[in-house]
């Protein structure tokens, strides 16, 4: 069955009546400005407000505020555009040109694409006669050219003109405007990284990356252009000169499986170690309107790990905030290590010219440790602090960071774990021999785990049927535990607690919701079990009602200020209360492995520390308002093409150090109430059937205390390890508690019923179904106990 048949219907229907919080809009504007990243500035920005400005590019009007799909389909009260926002600030926008664009855009509206997953990747440009450019150049010295790139779920960017590359029209426009005007500033508004090599070829004076910034995004960019705000962003991805230089190149886009040959050498971990000269803009780079210098650096071993204190001074001429970035070079004795790894960061308040601030960044030992995935050593399957010298680098980006000192450690095993989710197919991966600057290939350690035996040995026990026949109110009143309540349920009711409602837009919740879970059957509700309502997503509440459209994940992360994102999430939690959402399907926490992944805009970075820091901030913010967050997609969901069948094949080291690390941080630092599994397979097993990822790692090692839901439209399959266990029974055995809407046997009012069937036949144990039911009930108890306490 294709996705077009399963299309999620659009929820667009404006409800102008909703009273949204203007503070949330204002804060999202500040975040959009702090995330906008200035890459070139040849003394052209900020603009002189009174001087005439020629604005080229249809995207100045048809601004890209968000991506498409579940991470973008919000009904905002308004979306700002750049032309109007500049006029609001009394910039002398050239009227003749602006009127031309206005009329043309009205007559040639943006084509939203034929259907789900067929979104446009860019918008056709207005034909631009030479005479118009020449005329505008007589009236104005400076030109702004706006280039836009769209992206969305279920579709990757393409290595083609109009997607990763400029269209011929855009290139031709840029060339001619560049030739005709004394100064040219290019704004690229996008959610995903695109080719920027042309900026150097054309030698444009200014280049500003305006990440899709939500409803206030264009207004924020206008304020930056006139110097009312600083472009505060720092890259959370490396931008290479050529797509072919990314280490995932050649191992992305396959329909069946991608082999993560680059291993832990993702993004800057690869470039800074093996291919510095391939980098156009390094990780962490961003100019702002001033420059900062560091002094008084002290590196010290402390109880948690290593603490670095320093002073930063604004040595430029504009008010500006610094982003101090701390990197480590580990000894790399066991399996080699990258030249630089981010272990901490700090964003200063705005500093006046000449002003200094002191700060301390602490890198916990765990951030300095490596995971040993080799077999047969005393460090096998351990997080190890290797013995030797750790060099620390501090600065404004990964390339500029200077060595500021070292710390010496003896070998220490921080955690002894067991092999989990390791590859089942042998391949060669990148390794680095001590100090080497070229890549070596070495065979990846493969799985030696007998998964069936592991699962059988660890089967959870049923609590045993209690004497009474309790109601859920007894749980809320504290008279009975959720375990005893689950044990009291019939196989029918127990099984039903492990399924969400059959369809999206559940009648149990606000119109346009993504689906319900909990008390989704009449029988469960008759026992007092309430439903809970889920809504997308990372850029705002996706409901029929009007909701605030927030900056995309990459925009937020580019601020390097998770504390501010957390403040936004607090207000977002309040909007959930206002509009009727219990669980937001956010944050999106997959790693930017390859610049072509169509959903990169929803996620944060190529780096796990940035990802985990922002994921945790969002979860803490939302959950401070007695609402719940659901980090997704667990895990290694790095490609949209054939995402529901694709297998991500990677080493256990890369899995744990890169792809799971952000999730681990979010679980340990913020305690999300839910986690969503991914569509793809991880080393041969679908995310929603992955016992090792869910039970061994998430619950077992990390001590997760929430519940797990699937993504939408899941694949059904027999359990290869246990005869007679299939579909959702396979899922519950893996510890994935709730099947969310969709799926080929889920259309209309029927759904697959394998949990009930396997409970009845005895191939799934009561203990396993009760384990999932208890997690759902614990969530409902927490949610409704706080309500009934009010």
The answer to whether 495 and 755 have CB atoms below 8 angstroms apart is yes
CB nearer to ligand BGC: pick between 153 and 237: 153
Q: Smallest distance from the beta carbon of 531 to ligand BGC, in angstroms? A: 16
CB nearer to ligand BGC: pick between 634 and 756: 634
CB nearer to ligand BGC: pick between 347 and 643: 643
Residue in 711, 727, 737, 778 annotated catalytic: 711
CB nearer to ligand BGC: pick between 234 and 632: 632
Angstrom CA distances, 17 to 76, 547, 579, 647, stand at 12, 11, 12, 45
Q: Smallest distance from the beta carbon of 648 to ligand BGC, in angstroms? A: 15
What's the rounded Cα separation, in Å, for the pair 31 and 561?
A: 9
What's the rounded Cα separation, in Å, for the pair 655 and 419?
A: 11
Closest CA to 690 of 637, 742, 767, 642: 637
Q: Smallest distance from the beta carbon of 582 to ligand BGC, in angstroms? A: 14
Per-residue tokens: 460: 């959870």
For ligand BGC, the binding residues in 401-460 under the rule CB under 6 A are none
Would you state the torsion angle of the CA atoms of residues 727, 731, 734, 737, taken in this order, to the nearest 10 degrees?
A: -160
Lookup result for tokens 């009227």: 95
CB nearer to ligand BGC: pick between 647 and 711: 711
What's the rounded Cα separation, in Å, for the pair 341 and 328?
A: 5
CB nearer to ligand BGC: pick between 212 and 226: 212
CB nearer to ligand BGC: pick between 63 and 119: 119
Per-residue tokens: 578: 């206002």
* 712: contact with ligand BGC by CB under 6 A: yes
Which residue among 493, 536, 582, 768 contacts ligand BGC (CB under 6 A)?
536
Which residue among 214, 537, 551, 598 contacts ligand BGC (CB under 6 A)?
537
For ligand BGC, the binding residues in 94-153 under the rule CB under 6 A are 153
For ligand BGC, the binding residues in 575-594 under the rule CB under 6 A are 585
Q: Smallest distance from the beta carbon of 537 to ligand BGC, in angstroms? A: 5
CB nearer to ligand BGC: pick between 574 and 711: 711
Closest CA to 100 of 167, 149, 139, 55: 55
CB nearer to ligand BGC: pick between 536 and 606: 536
For ligand BGC, the binding residues in 652-711 under the rule CB under 6 A are 711
CA pseudo-torsion sign 289, 291, 296, 300: positive
Residues 6+ apart with CB under 8 A from 361: 307, 308, 309, 324, 326, 344, 345, 346
Please measure the distance between the N-terminal and C-terminal CA atoms of the chain and give it in whole angstroms: 47
Per-residue tokens: 679: 């569509």
Q: Smallest distance from the beta carbon of 193 to ligand BGC, in angstroms? A: 21
Binding track, positions 363-392, relative to ligand BGC; x by CB under 6 A: ------------------------------
Lookup result for tokens 């001429």: 317
* 719: contact with ligand BGC by CB under 6 A: no
Closest CA to 535 of 507, 558, 505: 505
Q: Smallest distance from the beta carbon of 585 to ligand BGC, in angstroms? A: 4
Burial of 303 (C-beta count, 10 Å sphere; 0-12/13-18/19+): exposed
Q: Smallest distance from the beta carbon of 743 to ligand BGC, in angstroms? A: 12
* 70: contact with ligand BGC by CB under 6 A: yes
Count the neighbouring beta carbons within 10 Å of the beta carbon of residue 437. Answer: 11
Q: Smallest distance from the beta carbon of 533 to ligand BGC, in angstroms? A: 12
Q: Smallest distance from the beta carbon of 693 to ligand BGC, in angstroms? A: 17
The answer to whether 707 and 631 have CB atoms below 8 angstroms apart is no
For ligand BGC, the binding residues in 149-208 under the rule CB under 6 A are 153
* 272: contact with ligand BGC by CB under 6 A: no
CB nearer to ligand BGC: pick between 258 and 586: 586
CA pseudo-torsion sign 150, 156, 158, 164: positive
Q: Smallest distance from the beta carbon of 496 to ligand BGC, in angstroms? A: 21
Burial of 750 (C-beta count, 10 Å sphere; 0-12/13-18/19+): exposed
What's the rounded Cα separation, in Å, for the pair 72 and 112?
A: 13
For ligand BGC, the binding residues in 497-526 under the rule CB under 6 A are 514
Which residue among 632, 661, 766, 771 contacts ligand BGC (CB under 6 A)?
632
Q: Smallest distance from the beta carbon of 191 to ligand BGC, in angstroms? A: 15
Residue 300 DSSP code: E
Q: Where are the beta strands (DSSP E) in 559-669?
A: 583-584, 628-629, 647-649
Helix ranges restricted to H, 625-765: 652-654, 661-670, 691, 727-733, 754-761
Count the neighbouring beta carbons within 10 Å of the beta carbon of residue 591. Answer: 28
Phi, psi of 258 (to 5 degrees): -120, 130
CB nearer to ligand BGC: pick between 213 and 598: 598
Residue 263 is a catalytic residue: no
Per-residue tokens: 484: 């005893």
Is the previous residue joined to 218 through a cis bond, with omega within 30 degrees of 0?
no
* 639: contact with ligand BGC by CB under 6 A: no
Binding stretches for ligand BGC (CB under 6 A): 70, 153, 514, 536-537, 585, 632, 711-712
Indicate which residues carry an active-site annotation: 711
């Amino acid at each position: 069955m294709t996705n077009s048949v399963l299309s999620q219907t659009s929820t667009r229907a404006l409800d102008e009546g909703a009273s949204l919080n203007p503070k949330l809009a204002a804060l999202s504007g500040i975040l959009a400005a702090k995330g906008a990243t200035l890459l070139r500035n040849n003394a052209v920005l900020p603009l002189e407000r009174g001087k005439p400005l020629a604005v080229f590019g249809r995207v100045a009007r048809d601004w890209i505020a968000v991506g498409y799909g579940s991470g973008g389909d919000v009904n905002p009260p308004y979306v700002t555009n750049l032309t109007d926002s500049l006029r609001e600030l009394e910039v002398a926008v050239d009227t003749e040109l602006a009127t031309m664009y206005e009329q043309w855009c009205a007559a040639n509206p943006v084509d939203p694409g034929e259907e789900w997953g067929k979104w446009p990747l860019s918008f056709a440009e207005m034909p631009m006669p030479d005479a118009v450019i020449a005329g505008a150049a007589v009236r104005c010295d400076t030109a702004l050219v706006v280039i836009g790139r769209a992206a969305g779920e279920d579709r990757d960017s393409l290595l083609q003109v109009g997607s990763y590359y400029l269209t011929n029209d855009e290139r031709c426009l840029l060339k001619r405007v560049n030739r005709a005007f004394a100064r040219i500033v290019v704004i690229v508004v996008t959610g995903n990284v695109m080719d920027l090599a042309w900026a150097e070829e054309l030698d444009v004076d200014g280049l500003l990356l305006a990440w899709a910034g939500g409803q206030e995004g264009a207004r924020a960019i206008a304020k930056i252009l006139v110097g009312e705000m600083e472009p505060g962003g720092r890259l959370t991805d490396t931008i290479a000169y050529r797509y072919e230089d990314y280490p995932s190149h050649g191992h992305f886009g396959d329909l069946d499986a991608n082999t993560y040959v680059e291993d832990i050498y993702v993004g800057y971990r690869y470039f800074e170690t093996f291919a510095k000269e391939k980098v156009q803009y390094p990780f962490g780079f961003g100019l702002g309107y001033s420059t900062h210098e560091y002094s008084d650096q002290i590196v010290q071993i402390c109880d948690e790990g290593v603490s670095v204190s320093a002073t930063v001074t604004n040595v430029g001429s504009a008010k500006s905030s610094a982003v101090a970035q701390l990197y480590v070079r580990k000894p790399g004795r066991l399996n080699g290590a990258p030249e630089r790894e981010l272990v901490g960061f700090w964003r200063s308040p705005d500093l006046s010219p000449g002003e200094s601030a002191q700060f301390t960044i602490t890198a916990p030992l765990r951030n300095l440790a490596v995971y040993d995935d080799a077999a047969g050593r005393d460090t096998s399957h351990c997080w190890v602090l290797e013995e030797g010298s750790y060099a620390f680098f501090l600065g404004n980006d990964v390339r500029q960071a200077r060595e500021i000192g070292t710390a010496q450690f003896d070998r220490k095993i921080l955690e002894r774990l067991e092999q989990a989710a390791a590859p089942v197919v042998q391949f060669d991966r990148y390794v680095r021999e001590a100090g080497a600057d070229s890549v070596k290939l070495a065979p990846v350690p493969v799985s030696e785990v007998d998964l069936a035996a592991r699962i059988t040995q660890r089967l959870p026990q049923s609590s045993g049927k209690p004497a009474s026949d309790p109601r859920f109110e007894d749980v809320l009143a504290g008279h009975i535990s959720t375990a005893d309540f689950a044990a009291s349920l019939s196989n029918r009711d127990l099984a039903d607690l492990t399924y969400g409602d059959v369809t999206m837009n559940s009648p149990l919740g606000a119109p346009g919701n993504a689906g319900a879970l909990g008390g989704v059957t009449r029988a469960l509700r008759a026992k007092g079990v309430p439903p809970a309502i889920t809504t997308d997503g990372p850029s705002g509440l996706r409901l029929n009602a009007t909701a605030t459209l927030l900056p995309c994940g990459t925009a937020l992360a580019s601020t390097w200020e998770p504390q501010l994102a957390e403040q936004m999430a607090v207000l977002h939690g309040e909007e959930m209360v206002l509009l009727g959402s219990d669980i937001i399907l956010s944050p999106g926490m997959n790693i930017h492995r390859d610049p072509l992944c169509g959903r990169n805009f929803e996620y944060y970075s190529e780096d796990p520390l940035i990802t985990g820091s922002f994921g945790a901030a969002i979860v803490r913010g939302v959950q401070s308002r007695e609402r719940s967050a659901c980090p997704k997609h667990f895990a290694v969901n790095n490609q949209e093409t054939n995402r529901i069948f694709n297998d991500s094949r990677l080493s256990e080291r890369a899995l744990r150090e890169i792809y799971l690390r952000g999730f681990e941080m979010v679980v340990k630092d913020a305690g999300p109430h839910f986690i969503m599994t991914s569509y793809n397979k991880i080393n041969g097993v679908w995310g929603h059937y992955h016992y090792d990822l869910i039970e061994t790692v998430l619950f077992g090692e990390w001590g997760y205390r929430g519940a797990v839901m699937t993504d939408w439209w899941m694949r059904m399959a027999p359990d290869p390890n246990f005869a007679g266990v299939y579909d959702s029974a396979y899922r519950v055995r893996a510890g994935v508690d709730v099947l969310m809407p969709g799926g080929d046997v889920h259309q209309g009012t029927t759904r697959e019923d394998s949990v009930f069937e396997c409970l009845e036949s005895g191939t799934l144990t009561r203990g396993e179904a009760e384990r999932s039911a208890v997690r759902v009930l614990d969530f409902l108890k927490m949610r409704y106990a706080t309500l009934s306490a009010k």
